[in-house]
């Protein structure tokens, strides 16, 4: 099994059943049937197989459209909140996912039998924590690259892992009493290049922006602490 496949041990699916009750109906057995949740990142152009049994799936979280097909089916395009429901005799044992986009995407998929109960609004932000990424947690770095991690796995300062859905903000604290630092374009090699903001001595700034930026003095130490805040789901 490939390293990027997910497998769940469950009793095999019996797609057909020739036993009937006294009323002429197939017996209803739920033994060994349940649902699973899988969250991960798929890089641009890559695929991933979720080995899980069920009669339906849906995407609880999705940062961009994705291609998916169940075993025996064909690829279809899905957006967040969309999925597929099939009859028991068409139960599947695997779902293959493909990312057709030019950027990574984060997904969270539910797979199982029976009907899902989902009364939340899309997007249910109260179920998505704001996670602080320690971009530069100690003062003194010579270059601070602030690279947007949306659509990738991140680790907070306590070592907890998450999948970043969207950057909410950049927080920069200047702990120097005499230097002003610029938030410059991503490839800047100087201290006074094109910038989007300035951080004055002994102040902090919050920038509610996405994208990539850099802090540099052209070789000198930067007395600043930088973190990024992301909407994220647990990995």
Residues 119-168 have pLDDT tens digits of 554 555 556 789 999 999 999 999 999 999 998 999 999 999 999 999 99
Residue 20 reports pLDDT greater than 60: no
Domain match, 113 and 151 both: no
User: Which of the residue ranges 39-43, 57-61, 198-202 has the most confident prediction, judged by mean pLDDT?
Assistant: 198-202
Among 125, 147, 166, give the residue marking a domain's end: 125
Residue 13 has pLDDT above 80, yes or no: no
Q: How far apart are the first and last CA of the chain?
A: 21
If asked whether residues 210 and 189 sit together in one domain, one would say yes
58-83 in b/e form (b: 16+ CB < 10 A) is: bbbbbbbebbbbbeeeeeeebebebb
Burial class (CB in 10 A: 0-12, 13-18, 19+), 156: middle
- Looking at the fold, whether 11 and 120 belong to one and the same domain comes out as yes
Question: What is the DSSP secondary structure assignment for residue 13, as one 8-state letter?
Answer: P
The CATH number linked to 207 is 2.60.120
Higher pLDDT, 113 or 176: 176
The pLDDT, as a whole number, for residue 128 is 73
Domain boundary among 66, 99, 125: 125
pLDDT band at 113 (very low <50, low <70, confident <90, very high): confident
Residue 61 has pLDDT above 80, yes or no: yes
Write down the mean pLDDT value for the chain. 85
On whether both 111 and 134 belong to a single domain, the answer is no
Residues 120 and 140 in one domain: no
Query: What pLDDT, on a 0 to 100 scale, did the predictor assign at position 4?
Result: 56
Please report, for the domain that includes residue 81, its CATH number: 2.60.120.10
Question: By residue range, what is the domain housing residue 138?
Answer: 128-234
Q: 13 and 104 in one domain?
A: yes
Sheet-wide strand order for 181-185: 143-146, 213-216, 181-185, 195-199
> Taking a C-beta distance cutoff of 8 angstroms, is the pair 128, 82 a contact?
no
- Of 12-16, 18-22, 73-77, the range with the highest mean pLDDT is 73-77
Same-domain pairing of 44 and 80: yes
* Residue 10 in this model has a pLDDT that exceeds 80: no
The total of structural domains in the chain comes to: 2
Question: Are 209 and 117 in the same domain?
Answer: no
Say if 1 falls within a structural domain.
no
| Domain finish residue from 108, 125, 142 | 125
Residues 116 and 101 in one domain: yes
Whether residues 80 and 177 fall in one domain: no
């Amino acid at each position: 099994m490939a390293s990027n496949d997910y497998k769940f041990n469950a009793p095999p699916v019996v797609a057909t059943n020739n036993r009937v009750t006294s009323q002429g109906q197939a017996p209803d057995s739920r033994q060994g049937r349940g649902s699973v949740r899988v969250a991960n990142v798929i890089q641009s152009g890559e695929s991933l197989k979720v080995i899980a049994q069920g009669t339906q799936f849906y995407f609880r979280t999705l940062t961009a459209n994705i291609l998916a097909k169940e075993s025996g089916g064909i690829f279809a395009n899905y957006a967040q909140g969309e999925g597929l429901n099939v009859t028991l005799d068409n139960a599947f044992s695997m779902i293959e996912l493909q990312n057709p986009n030019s950027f990574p995407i984060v997904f969270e998929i539910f797979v199982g039998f029976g009907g899902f109960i989902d009364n939340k609004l899309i997007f249910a932000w109260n179920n998505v924590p704001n996670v602080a990424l320690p971009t530069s947690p100690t003062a003194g770095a010579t270059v601070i690259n602030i690279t947007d991690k949306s659509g990738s796995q991140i680790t907070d300062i306590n070592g907890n892992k998450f999948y970043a859905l969207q950057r909410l903000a950049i927080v920069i604290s200047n702990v120097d009493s005499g230097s002003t630092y610029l938030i410059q374009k991503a490839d800047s090699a100087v201290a006074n290049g094109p910038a989007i903001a300035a951080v004055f001595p002994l102040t902090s700034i919050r920038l509610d922006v996405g994208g990539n930026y850099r802090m540099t003095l052209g070789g000198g130490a930067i007395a600043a602490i930088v973190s990024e805040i992301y909407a994220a789901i647990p990995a």
